[in-house]
Amino acid sequence: MIGVFFGLLTGALFAIGSVLARVGQRHRPQDDGVLMTILVNVIVLGLVSLTVTAPQWNTAGVIGLAVGGVLGSLMGRFANLRAVRLVGATRSSAFMTGTPLVAALAGWLVLDEKVGLLDAVGGLIIIAGLLALVLARAIPTSVHDGVAAPADARSLRLGFIFAAAAPVGFGLGFVVKKWGLSRYDDAVLGALIGTAAALVVVILIDTVSGRIGRRLSENLRHVPWWFVASGVAMSGALITQFAAFSYLEAWLVGALQGTQGIWALILGWLFIRHEERIDRWVVLSVVLVAGGVILIGLQR
C-alpha cells in the first residue's frame, strides 16, 4: 500500500509543478522552465543526498539511471512544459496518463513485467479519455509574450503533439530507471544521477545552439521564482517516484502518476481558472482516465 501512496503523491507533486510552471511562463515568453527546474532538482536532491548512505557502486545501474533521467527529466519534461505553454496544464497533464501504456509495453519487453486482461481494458479506457480530451469543445489557452489567450489551430496542434510525446519520454524513462534502480538501489541518489545527467545534456544543447549565455542571464540574473518553486515540487515528485519503484512495477507507478491530470484539473480550477477553461468534455476525459487507472490497479 505504501507504494500506491508514493505513486499517487508523485502525480500530485508533478501536477503542482506543472501549474507553477504555467504561472511562471506568463513572465518568460521564451523560456518554458526546463533549465531552471532541472537545476533546482539537482540542488535539492544534492542536499537531500547528503543524508543518505550510498549503496555499493554498480556501473550499469548508474548508467541506466542517467539514461532514464535524460529520457524522463529532459525529454519528457521538455515536451510536457512546452505542451503546458501551448494548451495549458490541465490538458497536458491529462495526456500524461498515457505514460502507463508506454511503461507497460517497455516493461514487458525489458523487465518481463506482465500485463493482464484488466491492464489491457484499463489502457483502452485511458485512451478513450485522451481522445475525449483531444475532441473537447473547450478552448485551450496558450501563453505568448506573457499573455494567456485562446490557442490558435497551430498552437493547438503542436500542443497536442508535445503533450502526446511527453508520456513516451516519461514511460521509457520509467522502465530504464527501474532497471537501473534494481542494480543501484537508492531513491534519492537515483533521482540525483538522472537529473544531473539531464542538466549536463541541457547545458550542452544550449551551448551548441548558442543560447547558453542568454539562458544563464535570464535564469541567474533575474531568478524566475515560479520555476524555482516548480522545480522544488518536481524534486519531491522524483523522490517519491523512485520510492514507488522500490515497491511496484514501472507500469503501475506510471498508472498511479497518471492521476496528475486529476490533480492538475483541481489546481488549475482553483488557482488559474481564467486560463484553464474546463467543460464537461474535459471532466469526462479525466473521469475516464481515472477509471482506467483504477481498473489497472484492481489487479494489485
What's residue 197's pLDDT?
93
3 state SS for 81-132? HHHHHHHCHHHHHHHHHHHHHHHHHHHHHHCCCCCCHHHHHHHHHHHHHHHH
**What is the count of structural domains for the chain?**
1
Mean pLDDT of the chain: 79
Percent helix, strand, coil in the chain, to 5, is: 75, 5, 20
pLDDT of residue 138: 46
Confidence band of 232 (pLDDT split at 50, 70, 90): very high
Per-residue pLDDT at 94 = 67
> Chain-centre distance of CA 102, in angstroms?
13
Helix (H) or strand (E) holding 147, with range, is strand 147-150
Per-residue pLDDT at 191 exceeds 60: yes
* Distances 113 to 13, 84, 109, 173, 282 between C-alpha atoms, Å: 26, 31, 8, 15, 32
Single pTM value for the model: 0.73
Q: Is 142 helix (H, G, I), strand (E, B) or coil?
A: strand
Check if the beta carbon of residue 211 is closer than 8 Å to that of residue 65. Answer: no
Helix axes 187-209, 59-69, angle to 10 degrees: 60
pLDDT digit string, tens, across residues 133-148: 655 544 455 545 444 4
Q: Which domain holds residue 8?
A: 2-297
Angle (CA) 137-84-203 rounded to 5° is 155
Phi and psi at residue 51, in whole multiples of 5°? -95, 0
Is pLDDT at 167 greater than 90 in this prediction? no
Position 154: which residue type? R
**Cell output for 170:** 516519461
Burial of 223 (0-12, 13-18, 19+ CB in 10 A): exposed
- Write out pLDDT tens, residues 75-116: 887 787 788 777 776 667 667 667 777 777 777 777 776 667
> 239-297: per-residue pLDDT in tens?
998 888 888 777 777 777 777 767 777 776 676 555 556 667 777 777 887 787 777 66
Task: Write down the pLDDT at residue 42.
Answer: 95
Q: What is the mean pLDDT of residues 206-212?
A: 84
Which of these ranges, 83-97, 172-186, 193-207, 283-297, has the smallest mean pLDDT?
83-97
Q: Which of 158-167, 184-193, 279-288 has the highest mean pLDDT?
A: 184-193
Amino acid, res. 295 = L
What was the pLDDT predicted at 192? 93
* 171 pLDDT more than 80: yes
pLDDT of 176 strictly over 50: yes
